[in-house]
Amino acid sequence: MEKLAYVLIFIGAIFWVFSIFAMQGRWQAQLLAALILMVGIMIAHVWEELFREKK
């Protein structure tokens, strides 16, 4: 699950840069990239909170 989060964050970041340069900064593509990034960050955060070792 942790790898899924990192892959989503990476894909979202690459898609965001692609949307700026190749799609002339269309807001729909940037919104989709932001959604992908948010989902990846939320998965990473939830995974860390649920399964980190208690000290």
Return the pLDDT at 49.
Answer: 86
Which residue is it, tokens 């939830």?
46
Query: What pLDDT is recorded for position 48?
Result: 87
Angle at 28 (CA atoms; ends 23, 32), nearest 5 degrees: 100
CA–CA dist 21, 8 (Å, integer): 20
Q: Is residue 38 part of a domain?
A: yes
Stretches where the chain sits below pLDDT 70 are 54-55
pLDDT the model gives residue 55: 62
Q: CA 40, CA 5: separation in Å to the nearest integer?
A: 4
Is residue 20 included in any domain, yes or no? yes
Residue 35 lies in a domain: yes
Structural domain range at position 44: 2-50
Residue 55 is assigned to a structural domain of this protein: no
